[in-house]
Amino acid sequence: MSLLLGVLRDPRVITQWTLPQWNRLLRETRAQGLSARLSWILEERDLQAACPPAALTELEAQRCIAALKQAQARLELRKLHKALAPLDIPIMLLKGAAYAQAGLRVARGRDFADLDILLPRERLEAAETALETAGWISETTNRYDQRYYRRWMHELPPLHHRTRSFEVDVHHALLPLTGRLRPDPSRIWAASRSLPDAPYRIPCPEDMLLHGAAQVFQDGEIAGQLGGLLDLHQLIGELSAQSGFWERLPVRAEALQLGRPLYYALHFSRALLDTRIPPEVLRAAQAHAPGPLNNRLMDLLVPRVLEPRYPARRPARFAAWLLYLRSHWLRMPPGLLTRHLLRKALRGGKP
């Protein structure tokens, strides 16, 4: 088994390790881009003294990248707020930005490529105009792409301010409009919390976890998403300390149509990262498991693409390709999917 998974399951294993195991762990961790997060996990468990000093130095040295991204995200948020506040448009933070602003441990060392925010759908047009006036521009000028995002997706085409390179993804829903599952954004807004020290909202704890689960297992290609699974594992560990979390979670998943992604999240997080989940919650989630054939297939494919394989084994390309097809299948009805993939293939760009 992968040593990185072993450490994430139980960090104390490192106390028994010899140098070849450390070398292998470092290679797996670098390939997954999880160095900084691992350094924080080891620190939280007070295990630094058990690491070879050079290994610890290297892991901790990567923290500055996430720290810079988080600082850039905070700046971007202040600017977004300045542009949208005069119109009284509320901003809800999603994913990494929400974890960081809520002060959750999962945000430590967590790098992110872009800033995800949710705006109320009915204010979207006004918001877009305001952002355009304030200097944000769309990253794609391709007409098909623009239409693809607007008609079928849950977000605008990525934006960035003309003086900065930081990408902003403006969402109006959690999942694509054409997808099989469509959680109602107004419910997310209704349950959201305001931050005590910043003018933004964040989803309630259950929604935060459900959105993470949907990102990995409904909207995502799963392959290469060990970081996403680690988010879920760490979120569960942290959020479940709040009283009533486990009672509310399955009910909330049902209300948002996210029972299936929650099932996968709990199932695979437990299988790969040994996450502690009460048996009754697992049983409740089991009700949303797919049919036996589908379940067997996912059990076969998902660990193959999530478990670190470098440097010992070749990447599981076929499994990744099947899951890539699945992600599109879940995103669009077959006719639309065929047209979309054909169009992308003929254009010759990256899928």
Binding site for another protein (CB under 8 A): 19, 22-23, 26-27, 30-31, 52-55, 57-58, 60-62, 64-65, 67-68, 71, 310-311
Rounded distance, CA 226 to CA 59, Å?
Answer: 17
Nearest residue (CB) to another protein, 6 versus 120:
6
Residue number with CB closer to another protein (107 or 281)? 107
> β-pairing, 136-138 with 159-161?
antiparallel
Q: How far is the CB of 19 from another protein (least distance, A)?
A: 6
Nearer to another protein, 58 or 254 (CB): 58
Give the other-Cβ count within 10 Å of 345's Cβ.
Answer: 10
Q: Which is nearer to another protein, 22 or 189 (CB)?
A: 22
**Nearest residue (CB) to another protein, 23 versus 327:** 23
User: From the CB of 58, what's the least distance to another protein, in Å?
Assistant: 6
Q: How far is the CB of 112 from another protein (least distance, A)?
A: 15
Written as six digits, the tokens of 237 are 């560990």
Geometric angle at alpha carbon 189, from 234 and 167, rounded to 5°: 65
d(CA 75, CA 87): 20
| Least Cβ distance, residue 204 to another protein (angstroms) | 32
Q: What share of the chain is helix, strand, coil (3-state, %, to 5)?
A: 60, 5, 30
Of 143 and 350, the one with the shorter C-beta distance to another protein is: 350
Sign of CA dihedral 262, 264, 265, 266: positive
Nearest to 273 by CA among 301, 306, 321, 319: 306
Q: Which two tokens stand for residue 346?
A: 């003929």
Reading the block at residue 145, the tokens are 């792409």
Give min distance, CB of 63 to another protein, in A: 8
CB of 7 to another protein, least distance (A): 14
